[in-house]
Amino acid sequence: MQPSDDVSPTPEPQASWTPLLRARRAALKWAQKSVPGVRGVAGCGPSAQKWPGPRDFLACGQVHKRRPRILMREGGTWGRARAAAPEARYRAVGRADTPRAAGTVKWEVEQVKLLDRFSTSNKSLTGTLYLTATHLLFIDSHQKETWILHHHIASVEKLALTTSGCPLVIQCKNFRTVHFIVPRERDCHDIYNSLLQLSKQAKYEDLYAFSYNPKQNDSERLQGWQLIDLAEEYKRMGVPNSHWQLSDANRDYKICETYPRELYVPRIASKPIIVGSSKFRSKGRFPVLSYYHQDKELNAMANRAAGKGYENEDNYSNIRFQFVGIENIHVMRSSLQKLLEVNGTKGLSVNDFYSGLESSGWLRHIKAVMDAAIFLAKAITVENASVLVHCSDGWDRTSQVCSLGSLLLDSYYRTIKGFMVLIEKDWISFGHKFSERCGHLDGDPKEVSPVFTQFLECVWHLTEQFPQAFEFSEAFLLQIHEHIHSCQFGNFLGNCQKEREELKLKEKTYSLWPFLLEDQKKYLNPLYSSKSHRFTVLEPNTISFNFKFWRNMYHQFDRTLHPRQSVFNIIMNMNEQNEQLEKDIKDLESKIKQRKNKQTDGILTKELLHSVHPESPTLKTSLCFKEQTLLPVNDALRTIEGSSLADNRYSEYAEEFSKSEPAVVSLEYGVARMTC
Amino acid sequence: MEFAELIKTPRVDNVVLHRPFYPAVEGTLCLTGHHLILSSRQDNTEELWLLHSNIDAIDKRFVGSLGTIIIKCKDFRIIQLDIPGMEECLNIASSIETSEWRLSYVNKEFAVCPSYPPIVTVPKSIDDEALRKVATFRHGGRFPVLSYYHKKNGMVIMRSGQPLTGTNGRRCKEDEKLINATLRAGKRGYIIDTRSLNVAQQARAKGGGFEQEAHYPQWRRIHKSIERYHILQESLIKLVEACNDQTHNMDRWLSKLEASNWLTHIKEILTAACLAAQCIDREGASILIHGTEGTDSTLQVTSLAQIILEPRSRTIRGFEALIEREWLQAGHPFQQRCAQSAYCNTKQKWEAPVFLLFLDCVWQILRQFPCSFEFNENFLIMLFEHAYASQFGTFLGNNESERCKLKLQQKTMSLWSWVNQPGELSKFTNPLFEANNLVIWPSVAPQSLPLWEGIFLRWNRSSKYLDEAYEEMVNIIEYNKELQAKVNILRRQLAELETENGMQESP
């Protein structure tokens, strides 16, 4: 057992390192001073002083495997191209100009085939592949565009040459997998090499965020960065207060490099205590406030319990340990790997799917994180106890558990803005190593791990169990996931606040949040009910059968696997429509009133007649909503029958047809003359 | 049946008539008991009167939603009608088409096939005598009958019991003639056998078998294995056991879910149904479906194929009719199959959740096309409950013959009469329904086929929050309707005020 890997109220007590006792005491005093209803974040026990365990050895012995880097020939040109590129492509994934118009196309290859990932009959679309400074773009013969951001590319693989060309498989961090067939091997080799270079940057400054330009001026950009204000958030929680104060101990990142400058600690914790505690903790990550649970009844309890805490500062009798087995980042990485291998299989059987799901362990890990968060929430709400959460370093599992626990406790975090705050607080500011975990730069592949993805998945599971408790929808989670890897915005670059400041991200890049907020209509949950107070603390059910495979995440881009009509979209559109209709009713009513008045006055202006005419364009649009707002749905309907070749799901039911007999009409032909 | 009863659309406007040597005429097309009439309805009225009995053959074509019917007459004249609207065109075409099918009363005493209803649809060219002969060649007397007619292209689904070829390869000329009678000239068809080739071969030893290519050269046989009987029952028992044990850790839950094989069966059945639908709609080929008896997997496939192909079967009345036709009348032995469910220790070999699997498959399609069904999940759950235990007579007995003997029509109430009351119906109506006239192709990938929680986790966890969310969704939709109605009223009011004003202004 490795206690340091688990969530526990204080550091493990069993050790007998006498020389360290003082530091320990300081740390303990610390943990106990935190009042109930308060959680702390910390690094783990004294790994700095401890003899490194076998895992640490592994970590030390790691050879940084770097792929041989191929220097780009015309670096200068690239620099210019990159600077021009970004506005062509997405504003928080928006529209794009044609790449050629933007003048950023590096090269293009024609007659490239895009294979359907799951087709057993090797269906494909033919089109042209373009490489721009920031994206790989495929435009098929129906003018449908597939954009792949270079930073999203997790791996590029060149398979053995076939008769139809050279296959190139690209796997992306957002779980898109594309399989191209390039007619000429030389072209394929060039694409392969270019993508290898472009997808792995050596320095931060080469990442998309540093060239991305959404056409905002400096003050707009700065405002964007100020949108999420953590000081404001602590104020909302109710700190500083009589027990907690803002400490300036880490003002210059002297005590802990991976913590933010501003930290909340118990009033009683003097600077020497903090320093002592930080020496005792891995990476100097001494216990600090993560979330203060404000509840009238609880607060009273908290004060009392806190008093007790001081009396007992020399023993641990009022501290309970709870170890929850959340595995380390390496286990999580290989678990996801296995999961993706299984669900990427063509012609997957139900049994292989479930045995793969089981052996990957993925849902087991998700459940473990969820269980830990529930334990934490219960300790605070039911037992009125404070909780100290830590793992080995306190930036992976600790972030997962603290943020998820806060989400269960506080309905604010279930709003769009609140969720941004939560991520800023528990993940970004407390030093979750986004750049290492997401592999933003060409670094140690062993540092990559889907820790944040797991957090998003846990949140998704909560939205499934409590469909009305969250202001945002699945789309919001997917979009955030997209951007932790996109390197398009500065928020997730770097591994801690100190590094972010050094990179001058606030001056050189944009924050994601204002863009998401601006687009928030897209991410609203139409069933959200903010009024219901019953949802104050969520108590999810974690019996195994509640955990399902998140198809919309791991098969986000595999359209054939998804329902063809989205209830969610329809309800969302209907909500919007209802708002419009309400406005129309008000409008109409006032016009009727106006007209009635005018009638009595006997005055009638032509202008008015025109403006209230029932056929007036404004009214028309609102009443023709069926055609307009439900468009996405209609679009889905239109494609049901497989009018587009990309969509002919029906050809996958039987291999019998692919092993076709000459006398049988071929399927593609069958499509062409489908009605007679 | 009088011809007039076959007329589905008696009148269509804006039809364009093309005849040799005459300019095209636009007018209204009317179908009467004896004539097809096209009138320009103008002063210099041009009219075409065509006797139905003069029609020798028709062809139909579609370009977008514009349909064209080419009528070839017995006096060698050929005329063309352009009809806007696919539905209208199909209705007109099917009304004037000379049917290749007839109703047969050969089974009116249940003597030819005890598990068939008294009236069945068979090819016109096959007489009752031939049917009797074919019945002796098919398992349980279940000779091939029409299950579904695809209006769009005239292709059909037929179903039957297995042919009794035995080990010495017995054949039956009438059987071959019957099923060939369903093929158009030069067309080929598919026989979907719901057993694996191996099982089908073994069946010969017991007197059963399958159609030999040599004797049915126009047909291609496809084996799509669907499990039967105790294997399905065991699957259900294992699944329910897995769902009921709340102490399972994740690995154990997943491995038990897998070991139950329930979702494998779902995938197999759906795949076979999709294949059948694909033959009809995409390959333009007619099909014959059978397994051994033709009362279980056969019906799963024929009924699901109709859900995929036929929009009407996705409405409440249409689905009720489908169950009546493809399950009750078609002789699925409900009494035997649904005698016990997952908890009973006395396992009888004839017990099997065949109907529940069908309902689960419908639910899977409903989930993938949540707006294409008039009914909701509760409707399917209700049917599941009534198939196993019911105060109504509908699911009693194993076939029509037994139900007649039991005098259920006189002695019991029909489930449908209860369900179809407006008060009940509202519980089963899908608020998202919007008629979708297309063929719907479901995904059969395991990632797309989840466990039916509404049935299997129903008593194992609270669905409070999910139910509340559903209610909220219904509220939003209801509110939307209300607002729309209100806007319309206000618009009318405003328009009236305007005309009033207008009149005041210009006396």
Cross-chain residue pair A545–B220, CB shorter than 8 Å? no
Highest mean pLDDT among A82-96, B54-68, B389-403, B493-507: B389-403
Cross-chain residue pair B275–A656, CB shorter than 8 Å? yes
Say yes or no: A543 contacts chain B, CB-CB below 8 A: yes
CB-closest option in A364, A545, A567 to B370: A567
CATH fold of B3-98: PH-domain like (2.30.29)
Q: Which residue of B has its CA nearest to A595?
A: B497
How close B190 gets to chain A, by Cα (Å)?
10
Question: Residue B24: beta bridge partners?
Answer: none
Other C-beta atoms closer than 10 Å to the C-beta of B65 total 12
Handedness of CA A449, A455, A458, A463 (dihedral sign): negative
Question: Residue B71: beta bridge partners?
Answer: B58, B79
What does the pLDDT look like over B345-403, one tens digit per residue? 777 888 999 999 999 999 999 999 999 999 999 999 999 999 999 999 999 999 999 99
Q: Which residue of A has its CA nearest to B264?
A: A350
Residue with tokens 């333009």: B284
Stated as kind and residue range, the H or E segment containing A107 is strand A107-115
Chain B interface mutation, best of A348, A354, A584, highest count of B Cβ atoms under 10 Å: A354
The pLDDT of residue B454 is above 90: yes
Cross-chain residue pair B371–A663, CB shorter than 8 Å? no
Say yes or no: A660 contacts chain B, CB-CB below 8 A: no
pLDDT of residue A11: 36
Find chain A residues with C-beta within 8 A of B62's C-beta. 675-676
Find chain A residues with C-beta within 8 A of B497's C-beta. 592, 595-596, 599
How close A666 gets to chain B, by Cα (Å)?
8
Q: What is the mean pLDDT of residues B41-61?
A: 82
Residue A395 labelled as part of a binding site: yes
Measured CA to CA, the distance from residue A142 to residue A123 in angstroms comes to 15
Cross-chain residue pair B447–A551, CB shorter than 8 Å? yes
At residue B429, the 3 state secondary structure works out as strand
Whole-prediction pTM value? 0.82
Give me the residues of chain A with pLDDT under 70, please.
1-104, 295-320, 532-535, 599-652, 654-676
Q: Which residue of B has its CA nearest to A648?
A: B441
Cross-chain residue pair A527–B473, CB shorter than 8 Å? yes
CA distances from residue A283 to A43, A256, A496, B41 in whole angstroms, order as listed: 7, 7, 13, 92
**Predicted confidence band of residue B504 (pLDDT cuts 50, 70, 90):** low
Interface of A with B in 431-450 (CB under 8 A): none
Stated as kind and residue range, the H or E segment containing A518 is helix A512-518
pLDDT of residue A307: 25
What does the pLDDT look like over B409-433, one tens digit per residue? 999 999 999 999 999 999 999 999 9
Measured CA to CA, the distance from residue B441 to residue B270 in angstroms comes to 10
Known catalytic residue: A487? no
pLDDT of residue A104: 66
CA distances from residue A218 to A64, A506, A517, B495 in whole angstroms, order as listed: 39, 10, 19, 52
Domains contained in chain A, CATH given: 15-210 (2.30.29.30), 218-557 (no CATH), 570-675 (no CATH)
CA distances from residue B380 to B298, B359, B375, B386, B429 in whole angstroms, order as listed: 20, 6, 8, 10, 11
Cross-chain residue pair A650–B277, CB shorter than 8 Å? yes
Measured CA to CA, the distance from residue A46 to residue A15 in angstroms comes to 10
Residue A393 labelled as part of a binding site: yes
Find chain A residues with C-beta within 8 A of B477's C-beta. 571, 574
Judge residue A117's burial from the number of C-beta atoms within 10 Å of its C-beta, 0-12 exposed, 13-18 middle, 19 or more buried: middle
Interface of A with B in 117-176 (CB under 8 A): 118
Judge residue B5's burial from the number of C-beta atoms within 10 Å of its C-beta, 0-12 exposed, 13-18 middle, 19 or more buried: exposed
**DSSP for B154-174?**
TEEEEE-PPB--TTTT---HH
Q: Which residue of B has its CA nearest to A625?
A: B484
Closest CA to A134 of A152, A149, A146, A145: A149
Contact (Cβ atoms closer than 8 angstroms) between residue B16 and residue B82: yes
Say yes or no: A584 contacts chain B, CB-CB below 8 A: yes
Between the two ends of chain A, the Cα-to-Cα distance in Å is 70
Find chain A residues with C-beta within 8 A of B438's C-beta. 637, 640-641
Q: Which residue of A has its CA nearest to B153?
A: A676
Q: CA angle A491-A493-A498, nearest 5°?
A: 90
Interface of A with B in 8-27 (CB under 8 A): none
Say yes or no: A356 contacts chain B, CB-CB below 8 A: no
**DSSP for B25-55?**
EEEEEEE-SSEEEEE--STT--EEEEEGGGE
Chain A interface mutation, best of B249, B280, B365, B371, highest count of A Cβ atoms under 10 Å: B371
Say yes or no: A591 contacts chain B, CB-CB below 8 A: yes
**DSSP for A612-633?**
H-TT-HHHHHHHTHHHHTTHHH
Residue A329 labelled as part of a binding site: yes
Cross-chain residue pair A585–B483, CB shorter than 8 Å? yes
Spell out where A159-287 has E strands: 166-172, 177-182, 244-247, 263-266
Measured CA to CA, the distance from residue B350 to residue B357 in angstroms comes to 15
Find chain B residues with C-beta within 8 A of A118's C-beta. 445
Tokens describing residue A137: 């773009």
Contact (Cβ atoms closer than 8 angstroms) between residue A416 and residue A476: yes
Interface ipTM: 0.87
Percent residues over pLDDT 70 in chain B: 97
Find chain A residues with C-beta within 8 A of B275's C-beta. 653-654, 656
Find chain B residues with C-beta within 8 A of A671's C-beta. 282
Residue A43 labelled as part of a binding site: no
Say yes or no: A552 contacts chain B, CB-CB below 8 A: no
Say yes or no: A671 contacts chain B, CB-CB below 8 A: yes
Cross-chain residue pair B254–A354, CB shorter than 8 Å? yes
Stated as kind and residue range, the H or E segment containing A281 is none
Say yes or no: A544 contacts chain B, CB-CB below 8 A: yes
Q: Which residue of A has its CA nearest to B487?
A: A585
Contact (Cβ atoms closer than 8 angstroms) between residue A267 and residue A247: no
Residue A396 labelled as part of a binding site: yes
DSSP H helical segments within B369-463, as ranges? 377-388, 400-405, 408-411, 415-419, 422-428, 453-456
Q: Which residues of A446-470 are buried (b: 16+ CB within 10 A; e: fewer)?
A: bbbbbbbbbbbbbbbbbbbbbbbbb
CB-closest option in B263, B468, B495 to A468: B468
Cross-chain residue pair B274–A650, CB shorter than 8 Å? yes
Q: What percent of the residues of chain B are helix, what percent strand, and what percent coil, each to the nearest 5?
A: 45, 15, 40
pLDDT of residue A295: 63
pLDDT of residue A598: 75
What does the pLDDT look like over A302-358, one tens digit per residue? 322 222 233 334 445 566 677 777 888 999 999 999 999 999 888 899 999 999 999
Q: Which residues of B206-242 are buried (b: 16+ CB within 10 A; e: fewer)?
A: eebbbbeeeebeebbbbbbbbbbeeebbbbbbbbbeb
**DSSP for A401-443?**
HHHHHHHHH-GGGGSHHHHHHHIIIIIIITT--HHHHTT-BS-
**A-B Cβ pairs (cutoff 8 Å, strict):** 239
pLDDT of residue A61: 28
Following CA atoms A319, A321, A326, A330 in sequence, which dihedral angle do they give, to the nearest 10 degrees? 90
Where is pLDDT greater, at A559 or B252?
Answer: B252
Query: Choosing from A44, A172, A256, A391, which is the catalytic residue?
Result: A391
Find chain B residues with C-beta within 8 A of A354's C-beta. 254-255, 257-258, 263, 446
Say yes or no: A340 contacts chain B, CB-CB below 8 A: no
Stated as kind and residue range, the H or E segment containing A120 is none
How close A337 gets to chain B, by Cα (Å)?
17
Measured CA to CA, the distance from residue A307 to residue B19 in angstroms comes to 101
CB-closest option in A467, A577, A656 to B465: A467
Task: Tally the C-alpha atoms within 13 A of residue B348's C-alpha that lie toward its C-beta.
Answer: 10
pLDDT of residue A580: 94
Interface of A with B in 167-206 (CB under 8 A): none
pLDDT of residue A657: 54
Domain limits of chain B? 3-98, 101-457
Residue A6 labelled as part of a binding site: no
**Predicted confidence band of residue B6 (pLDDT cuts 50, 70, 90):** low
What does the pLDDT look like over B70-87, one tens digit per residue? 998 888 999 999 998 888
Find chain A residues with C-beta within 8 A of B443's C-beta. 560-562, 649
